[in-house]
Structure 1
Amino acid sequence: MADGFEPVRDAFAENFAKRGERGAAMVLYRDGEKAVDLWGGTKDPGQEAHDAPWEQDTAQVVRSVTKGVASAVPLLLHQRGQLDLDGRVGTYWPEFKESGKERVLVRHLLAHRAGVPALDTPLTPAEAIDGISGPRAVAAQRPDWEPGTAHGYHAQTYSWLLSELVKRVTGRTIGRWIAEEIARPLALDLWLGLPEEQLDRIGRIEPVEAPAASPAAQGLRLRPKRSVAEAYADPESLTRRAFGAISPVPDENDPAYLAAGLPASGGVATADALARFYAALIGPLPSARTARAGGRLFAPATLTLARTEESAGPDRVLVVGTRFGLGYMLHGPACPLLGPGSFGHPGRGGSLAFADPETRIGFAYVTNGMQRGVTADPRAQALVRAVRKALAAQEA
């Protein structure tokens, strides 16, 4: 660990001692070089007969953190002149024009403004990963609002919207595109579609109890009129319908689910791979395998697109105020990152990865202990605060 980041190590240890952590890793790159590399705990919580320690190369399904990786693909396709962000989705995918969606733009899809966060008929887990049923369902779905006029988190449908758009433009699955254009050149242990031979490396997801908030913290928390938990409990709410687009809830430890690589929620990665990925979005990686990859992934104009606000305010699915650029969550109360210019994505239950161009940092935290919550997990936020503290001390 680089000198000056000791507060991050301390916060990581406190997550195990005070915040219910079971198994986790956290990595930080600065100026393209690794500055923090932490891991600990158990790889298989709840599996006493087969319990194993978390290793440096343990990988983890990272739920919606996957969206941040997948969202790089349309932006890179735009950067290469293959995709018009202001073009209509139906231009690339004619079937999508059904049911009042003929004017949906690619940028609407990326900024959660397409109006199809839920399905009238949820998909079974088998249908969700078959590569056909999901795209067909979202193409036929009538929007819940006029596309482009509001935003609401497309928790599950983002998988089929993005995967089919990329397939229509490139002829490749999004998982294959990421493997060939990003993961291999950058030497990332990151998969949207986990190979069978990597299964032994994966941490097992298990729910864990979140520590109770202190009375002082509860008093300081701004509470919306209706919390996302309350909205989710209502079977008729858009929140419940959006998160329930796959029913019953799939087993995220199932090898078949991991092999499918759903771009909204099914990516598998090490913390190092995610931090390195975000570092490569904003700057060169000295140890990258190719000159193109080593020169950085996002050109300056593409980086601006990723973190320029496209959606802000009350989220029709998450019910709190959220901010999105093109495919990325932006720094704000619902998703506190390192600073105003940060962009990335949390995963429901804990994991978080992002970049902060101003401090030249790529950050990633992954966990197999799934606590309740969509954003602002207390373990991830303790680490982010510790990074801020370390940076402030270094600058003093």
Structure 2
Amino acid sequence: MDIQGHTAPGFEAVAEVFGRNFKEHEEAGAAFAAYRDGEPVVDLWGGTADPDSGRPWRVDTLQLVFSGAKGLTAACVLLLVERGQLDLDTPAARYWPEFAAAGKAGITVAEIMSHQARLPGVQVPFDNEEFLDPVHMAGLLASQAPADDPRAAFVYHAQTYGWLAGELIRRVDGRSAGAFFADEFAEPLGLDVWLGLPDEEHHRVATTLAGPGVLVPPPGDDPLRVLTRNPLAAADAPALWNSAAFRRSEVPAVGAHVTARSMARFYACLARGGELDGVRVLEEATVQLGRRELRRGTEPLWNSPMAYAAGFELQTELGLFGPAPDAFGHAGAWGSRHGAWPGSRVGFSYAMNRTSAVWPDRRPLDLLAALHDAVRR
């Protein structure tokens, strides 16, 4: 396997693990990047971006990272909190009056950001075209009552998080989540990160592949599982993942296309308290607020430990963000991992095009373990 890129002295073991992923874990194409104290220490890529054509993974290949998008949307909300346009402890209906319908007047912004709004799915049927329209989907949620199943208070809001948070951004600022992130974070920091990919950039996107067990059967008879049905895991989902419509849409929870290098740079900025290369995008106090734990427990449908801050995932006993106990960030479905270790001032990102249902997924875990060992030396 031809691995390209570089590592700083002392980080060579990370490249060894990256190469081993292709030999031992059926990696197709991938990239891994990390910054320490604002300086790039790992920038690796390799494999195949598109198996049908044989197109290789290149330095500028973009990858869909599914829920890696949630960390980007969280940063947008936090910047609006910093500017006094949103308040985490205020009912969302103050900014979005229609949201008060059907018994939701008391649901706060913080509850939305920490998956506690009891709106983990959309009750009415919708098609893929509607799924790709955040304003339409937010409107459906505004008229919907919270789920009365007590489990819903801590069910991961896989898609609805983005429609809810994105509508709050639009209501108080006027811009969509994708436009807001582009203006306030991507452009100032020089990030190749997109929530809504322009057509002229589509040629750079890797084809996302479904590994065994990723596409799941219908959810059965459990009403809560039916409510949280995920079109991104349906039998025909790969066609949606790789469609031009999905790439250009701004789905705030699951629609980001990124290079690992740029996602690592984004989290490197957060690891330094919101500043990188003399550019400050968030105040340090805002980053601290964004890391404040809002809920910790067992996600009832996954039966798995989860800890949420204001849009970011926090470290749990599973160690999904590597060995650092202070880690925060967001994982993407079926493998990708993006986050920060504030104590070490490290930001990292792993992006790949072969999704995997294997649990635990050793690909990101082994990379983060090697990175942590190198940082500690």
1:69 is matched with which residue? 72
Tell me the equivalent position of 2:243: 254
Q: For residues 95 and 188 of structure 1, what CA distance do their matches in structure 2 show?
A: 35
Q: Provide the rounded CA distance (Å) in 2 between the counterparts of 1:326 and 1:139.
A: 20
Return the alpha-carbon distance in structure 2 between the equivalents of residues 340 and 382 of structure 1. 16
Q: Which of 328, 336, 344 is the matching residue for 2:312?
A: 328
The partner residue of 1:124 within 127, 152, 160 is: 127
Please state whether the residue corresponding to 2:31 is helix, strand or coil.
Answer: strand
Matched position secondary structure for 1:21: coil
2:33 aligned partner? 27
2:153 to 143, 150, 153: 150
Cα displacement (A) at 1:390: 1.8
Q: What are the ranges of 5 or more consecutive residues in structure 2 without an aligned counterpart?
A: 1-6
Alignment partners' CA distance in 1, 2:190 and 2:347: 16
Matched residue, 1:104 = 107
**Unaligned residue ranges in structure 1 (runs of 5+):** 211-227
8 Å CA contact 1:117–1:154 kept in 2: the answer is yes
User: What is the match of residue 4 of structure 2?
Assistant: none
Percent of aligned pairs sharing the same letter: 38
Distance in 2 (CA, whole Å) between partners of 1:73 and 1:130 is 19
Superposed, 1:1-396 pairs within 5 Å as 1-45=7-51, 47=52, 50-145=53-148, 150-209=153-212, 233-244=219-230, 249=237, 251-283=240-272, 284-286=275-277, 291=278, 294-295=279-280, 297-334=281-318, 336-338=320-322, 339-372=324-357, 377-392=361-376, 394=377
Please give the per-residue CA displacement for 1:333-358, whole angstroms capped at 9, x wherever unaligned.
34521312110000111111001100
**Alpha carbons of 1:169 and 1:13: their partners in 2 closer, same or farther (altered >3 Å)?**
same
Q: How many angstroms does 1:158 deviate by?
A: 1.4
Distance 1:147 1:279 in 2: 38
Q: 1:67 touches 1:345 (CA, 8 Å); kept in 2?
A: yes
Cα distance, 1:285–1:52 mapped onto 2, change above 3 Å:
same
- Please give the secondary structure, in 2, of the residue aligned with 1:314: strand
- Structure with the higher strand share, 1 or 2: 2
Contact 2:119 2:152 (8 Å CA) reproduced:
no
Normalising by structure 2, we get a TM-score of 0.91
AA matched with 1:304: Q
Distance in 2 of aligned mates of 1:240 and 1:367: 29
CA contact (8 A) 2:219 2:229 kept: no
C-alpha contact 1:113 1:147 (8 A) present in aligned 2: no
Question: Conserved in 2, the CA contact under 8 Å of 1:114 and 1:147?
Answer: no
Comparing 315-324 with 89-98, which one deviates more in the overlay?
315-324
Contact 1:307/1:326 (8 A) holds in 2: yes
Query: Structure 1 residues 264 and 376, CA, compared in 2 at 3 Å: closer, same or farther?
Result: farther
Aligned partner of 1:5: which letter?
F
| Secondary structure in structure 2 of the residue aligned to 1:383 | helix
Alignment match, 1:221: none
CA distance in 2, matches of 1:122, 1:245: 11
